[in-house]
Amino acid sequence: MRPMSFGQGGPSWGSGGSGSQPPQWGGQSPDWAALAEASETRNRRRRWLLIGGGALATVAVGTAVAMAVVSADGNEQASNRPASELPTSAAIPSDTTGTGPSFAETSAPPPLDPKDFIGNVKKDTAPLAPDLLFPGTQLTMGETVYKKGAMASTKNCASAAQGTLGPVLTKNDCTRFMRVTYAKDGIAVTVGVAVFDAEGQALKAKNDADAKSVVQSLAGEGVPTFCRSAICRSTTNSYGRYTYFTVAGFTNGKDVTQKDSKVFTTGDDLAEFTFRQIHRRGEAQASAAANQ
């Protein structure tokens, strides 16, 4: 059916065919206002149908998007389940900040004490010799370089002692006595290291020594005899199972006085170095034992 035209002069139906005759209105003119209202009513109905169809399409799209989101967030099985079977909000745990797995606390064992290894002959088993305790051909302390001279080692400890030191070493069962000499600018120092089986013996030897307990100086390797008749400066100390002594003086036989600070410094440097070397010996053995 062709749409009506409400142009001027009334409806026009076109020409030709059996339907080309104008309609009969029974001699009465049509109610144009009623016709217009009916047409408007039909147009409004069509608009509502279009709007309703659009809303249904929107709901369908929204449902599809929701299904896609569920499928993306869950596994394949969950995405195929209807919404009625999904867990309720009460079934979902609200606290997601729970603590992770706990582990028992561990701590590294305390480091081994180097002094434990140099305090007793049963633990202090590393090789021992003058050239191991005093390596190299010279010694540098700060800015001072000392040249190393002769070395010696004996099991007859008293033979390397002067004055009252021999009886002290013998009484406390000294097992070995090592000596080494260093020199610089006319000053020489001999270091003597007495070895005992236990720390207590070394400490007692130190306490038994007096002002006349002196290590016998060791000449040789370019260093002349010194400190045999002249006044020299001596020291005594102990660490672990070792008692160590120094005697320092002039190589020309001159007596040492309180003003001869270089002699004192030389003796102190060698006493400090001896202590460090004994301690390093303990450190090396403690480290080796820790790594076993």
Give per-residue pLDDT as tens, 206-219. Answer: 999 999 999 999 99
Tokens of residue 37, six digits: 């209202």
Domain that holds residue 218: 136-278
12 is a domain residue: no
Closest Cα partner for 185 from 279, 93, 252, 116?
252
- Is the separation of the CB atoms in 275 and 239 below 8 Å? yes
Segment 10-41, tens digit of pLDDT: 343 333 443 434 444 444 455 555 665 666 66
215 is a domain residue: yes
253 is a domain residue: yes
**Which of 49 and 187 is assigned the larger pLDDT?**
187
Closest Cα partner for 168 from 229, 239, 245?
245
pTM metric for this prediction: 0.63
58 is a domain residue: no
128 is a domain residue: no
Q: Say whether 119 sits in a helix, a strand or coil.
A: coil
167 is a domain residue: yes
Alpha carbon 200 to its chain's center: 39
- What is the overall mean pLDDT for the chain? 78
Give the count of domains, the chain.
Answer: 1
80 is a domain residue: no
Segment 187-243, tens digit of pLDDT: 999 999 999 999 999 999 999 999 999 999 999 999 999 999 999 999 999 999 999
108 is a domain residue: no
